[in-house]
Copies of this chain bind each other. A is one copy, B any other.
Amino acid sequence: MISEVAVLNVISGCEERFQRDFEKAQNIISSMKGYRSHELQRCIESPSRYLLLVQWEKLEDHIDGFRSSSQYQDWKSLLHHYYDPFPEVEHYKTVFSSSG
């Protein structure tokens, strides 16, 4: 399993609309092949900043699957106009994970 990670800087003043549109958009991503789970988190120190974490079975499910799909076009039109600058998206693999 891999994590897609993006820090999303939302245009100031658009945070509530972004959250409403993200609420719709999450139905798109969660219906895709290889999708496992996701989280949207909001920064306490910089409230226009969000962290998006999406777990995919394989890197290809995100890169080749989702990004080449027609559903990605809907995701883009719902969300991409909120970001400034446009986010860098990276992928991560778990090294350690534990809970107390």
Chain B residues lying within 8 Å of A44, measured Cβ to Cβ, are 2, 59, 90-93
> Closest Cβ of chain B: how far from A68's Cβ, in Å?
19
A residues within 8 Å of B by Cβ? 2-3, 5, 19, 22-23, 26, 30-31, 35-46, 49-51, 55, 59, 90-100
In the complex, A45→B99 CA distance in Å? 27
**Would A93 and B26 be within 8 Å (CB), given that A5-B51, A51-B5 are in contact?**
no
In the complex, A10→B98 CA distance in Å? 21
In the complex, A30→B92 CA distance in Å? 22
Chain B residues lying within 8 Å of A39, measured Cβ to Cβ, are 94, 96-97
Q: Are A93 and B36 in contact (CB under 8 A)?
A: no
Q: Are A38 and B92 in contact (CB under 8 A)?
A: no
Chain B residue at smallest Cβ distance from A39: B97
Name 17 A/B residue pairs within 8 A (Cβ), A-sorted: A2-B44, A3-B41, A3-B51, A22-B95, A22-B96, A26-B96, A30-B98, A30-B100, A35-B100, A37-B97, A37-B98, A38-B98, A39-B97, A43-B91, A44-B91, A44-B93, A51-B92
